Structure 1
Amino acid sequence: MRPPGDADRTALIRLMTDPVTREYLGGAVDYASRQALELSPLGITWGRWVLALAEDDTMIGSITLDYDRGELELSYALLPEWTGLGYAAESCIALLDWARRELEDEVVIAISQTRNKRSVALLRKLGFTVRKGLEEFGTQQLLLERSLREPLPAQEAPLQTAEDPPPPTRR
């Protein structure tokens, strides 16, 4: 995890516009929105980091910890070719561990579409439980929560396996 930089612009725009990545995040971004992203500053604020490979610093996704809903919220997204390899789990564990040590919050939430079986499975393995269901962006969502004071799963344990639901496919 690291702060985003200018070299990440192309990958960040792809992350925000890729139809597979966006399948559970409100759908494809239209042409005008994509043009606005390409012309604007990155707009990355506190609580948002790039996920990059250690060996060559290639950006593979992003992770966010912020208060958009008035509560500490975790969210993450990976480019399609990097899903199912454990990077989301590793990143979430690292960021939740940091939040446990550095923040005064007791609880962290996460929102996932009910259809996003893979993300829901990962969040459950990370110790999140369902607080409630809700509808946003025209689809059913789950608001999940976990105590920051509860122990985190060991990073050595594989949190994403071949038995987890497959990633979305292009339609």
Structure 2
Amino acid sequence: MIRLMTDPVTREYLGGAVDYASRQALELSPLGLTWGRWVLALAEDDTMIGSITLGYDRGELELSYALLPEWTGKGYAAESCIALLGWAREELDDDHVIAISQTRNKRSVALLRKLGFSVRKGLEEFGTQQLLLERSLRERLPEFAQELQTAADPPPPTRR
């Protein structure tokens, strides 16, 4: 988890790497309401590959996810998002969910669009352009995560 939060490639579109002390203070803060943060792990050996969160931001249900660089582009984000959005659809009273992505993060924007999100508005946060996307929780979700990741998608970020 520390690597996920401090890896500069993973955090490139998420406001930058967070130092350990700052991350620990955020995690211990009583501020905010969340349904939880889940670790994404491989079924065969429990290797951690990322995390996914469902919480409230701006007074709305928000989906957020991050994968370590070596695990991007393999369908894991899509599979995880479909599972968590399906759970939210069945268990929560919310009508919609939002996601925020930097406009430069073309892979994430492409995935969110394939998951049925549409752009509500652009905004500037953390010194860069962001997109606030939304989708209804009542609309049907894609069934196969593998179809969401294609060779036509933008390449993953690379280490600088």
Check conservation: 1:112, 1:119, Cα contact below 8 A. Answer: yes
Matched residues in 1 for 2:158 and 2:31: separation?
27
Report which stretch shifted further, 127-136 or 65-74.
Answer: 65-74
The superposition leaves residues 108-161 of structure 1 with CA deviations (integer Å, 9 ceiling, x where unpaired) of: 0000000000000000000000000000000000000000000001766xx011
% of aligned pairs identical? 92
Contact 2:34/2:54 (8 A) holds in 1: no
Unaligned runs of 5+ in 1: 1-11
Distance 1:91 1:114 in 2: 22
Once the two structures are TM-superposed, the CA of residue 170 in structure 1 deviates from its matched residue by: 1.2
Deviations 1:35-59 (A, max 9, x none): 9799999999642100011111111
Structure-1 residue corresponding to 2:21: 32
8 Å contact kept, 1:65–1:75: yes
Closer/same/farther in 2, CA of residues 43 and 51 from structure 1, 3 Å limit: farther
CA shift for structure 1 position 30: 4.5
In structure 2, C-alpha distance between the alignment counterparts of 1:120 and 1:30, rounded to whole Å: 26
Q: Deviations over 1:11-55 (max 9, x none)?
A: x00000001001001123347647979999999964210001111
- Asked whether the 8 Å contact 1:13–1:38 carries over to 2, the reply is no
- Runs of 4+ aligned structure 1 residues displaced above 6 Å come to 34-45
Contact 1:106/1:148 (8 A) holds in 2: yes
3-state SS, counterpart of residue 54 of structure 2? strand
Which region of structure 1 is more displaced relative to structure 2, 138-147 or 159-168?
Answer: 159-168
Aligned length: 158
Report the TM-score, using the length of structure 1 for normalisation: 0.83
Q: Which is richer in strand?
A: 2
Deviations 1:50-69 (A, max 9, x none): 00111111111000000132
Single out whichever of 107-116 and 26-35 deviates more from structure 2. 26-35
Residue 93 of structure 2 corresponds to residue 104 of structure 1? yes
Runs of 5+ unmatched residues, structure 2: none
Residue 133 and residue 41 in structure 1: after superposition, are their counterparts in 2 closer, same or farther (change >3 A)?
Answer: closer
Matched residue of 2:9: which SS?
A: helix
RMSD after superposition: 2.9
Check 1:96–1:23 CA distance in 2 against 1; reply closer, same or farther (3 A cut): same
Q: Is the 1:52–1:58 contact (alpha carbons within 8 Å) kept by the matching residues of 2?
A: yes
For residues 48-106 of structure 1, give each alpha carbon's deviation from its aligned partner in whole angstroms, at most 9, with x where no partner exists: 10001111111110000001321000000000000000000000000000000000000
Q: 2-side partners of 1:166 and 1:42: how far apart?
A: 36
Aligned equivalents of 1:44 and 1:51: distance in 2?
21
